[in-house]
Amino acid sequence: MRHIKNKKGQSLGLSIIMAIMIFLIGMTVLNILKPEITTARDSNNLDCANTAISDGNKLTCLVVDIALPYFILLIISVAGGYITARMLL
């Protein structure tokens, strides 16, 4: 009797491990980006807490504020996409 290996199961396990690795690397990079975003928003640079700033500065503050959630979403999407791609192939 021959032993048949389940290649989908092996690739799924490997893809889950790779997705966790992508997630951990992304969260590490996130810790590098967070202080830079905080520095950009303080009163010496963009002064996002001030309500009397120009519309351009308000828009820049909005873009800087939304960068962190989008980066987290990007990390989760890449990790989930890697798992999905490995399951379909």
Q: Rounded to an integer, what distance in angstroms lies between the CA atom of residue 30 and that of residue 69?
A: 10
Q: What is the mean pLDDT of residues 31-60?
A: 90
Please give the residue that has the higher pLDDT: either 75 or 6. Answer: 75
Cα 33 from Cα 72, distance rounded (Å): 11
**What percent of the chain lies above the pLDDT cut of 90?**
38
In angstroms, rounded to a whole number, what is the distance separating the alpha carbons of residues 75 and 64? 17
Domain residue ranges in the chain: 18-88
pTM value is: 0.72
Say whether pLDDT at 11 is over 80: no
Give the range among 7-21, 47-61, 73-87 with minimum mean pLDDT.
Answer: 7-21
